[in-house]
Amino acid sequence: VAKINSNYQKLAAGYLFPEIGRRVAKFASENPNAKVIRLGIGDVVLPLPAPILKAFHDGVDEMGVVSSFKGYGPEQGYAFLREAIAEHFKSQGANVDSDEVFVSDGSKCDTGNIQEIFALDSTIAVTDPVYPVYVDTNVMAGRTGAADENGRYGKLVYMPATADNNFDPSLPTGHVDLIYLCSPNNPTGAVMSREALAKWVAYAKQEGAVILFDSAYEAFITEPGLVKSIYEIPGAREVSIEFRSFSKTAGFTGVRCAYTVVPK
């Protein structure tokens, strides 16, 4: 008998974005003249820039000619792109090699899928509030208990990041195995300082934990001295995986292209 994965039934509130979508659609149909400012799912408002469009067109044309047809690409991504990404990290003071870069179909997918390589009894720490993908994928995998009336799951370690602590989450008081950090943060917008990140790297080393560092919004950091990659922190290569995306910089939302760095 086929049985449903009962962990899915713990997704009490459903995935946040479809729920926001349902409420917005209901409100809009009941108030057809209202101008709705959407602060839910992030999306770009401008079309793809011309150089990207041209590269897409060129890529499709190559696939239509015997001499340049490629078929499936290498599973880690084309070398030219991985090398350019590694150079970009190096220009930011982060030591990343091209064979440590995994090009993908979006960092939503990567931040959601990464948990599959870790044991089911791993303890997970997330900031609160948090990008819901990190939580929901661990719920579905069975690493959490049931949701309480506030939508917080048992067994998850929540680290508040609110105005009370200047959106700077404190280290967990006990041991955790996996720590999701996002900087610049969705949804708070806060950027973690070099000192704060160094503190997390030291904690991860001490606990044998892994930091899953989502820097999808790194391109928006313009203030000198702020860290863009966790690999700018000494020792971070031993304890962190970093996720980045083209969505936020190059108008790729809806196309999804991203990459993950897993240091050797």
Ligand X SMILES: Cc1ncc(COP(=O)(O)O)c(C=O)c1O
Q: Which spans of this chain sit near ligand X (rule: CB under 6 A)?
A: 42, 106-108, 111, 131, 182, 186, 214, 216, 245, 247, 253, 256, 258
Nearer to ligand X, 17 or 238 (CB): 17
Q: How far is the CB of 210 from ligand X (least distance, A)?
A: 17
Q: How far is the CB of 2 from ligand X (least distance, A)?
A: 30
Q: How far is the CB of 16 from ligand X (least distance, A)?
A: 11
Nearer to ligand X, 130 or 233 (CB): 130
Nearer to ligand X, 133 or 145 (CB): 133
DSSP assigned state of 142: T
Q: How far is the CB of 246 from ligand X (least distance, A)?
A: 7
Cis peptide before 51 (omega within 30 of 0): no
Q: Which residue is nearest to ligand X (CB)?
A: 106
Distance, first Cα to last Cα, the chain:
42
Phi (first) and psi of residue 27, to 5 degrees: -60, -45
Cβ of 197: how many Cβ atoms within 10 Å?
A: 22
Contact (Cβ atoms closer than 8 angstroms) between residue 69 and residue 62: yes
DSSP assigned state of 8: G
Amino acid at 99: D
Nearer to ligand X, 131 or 203 (CB): 131
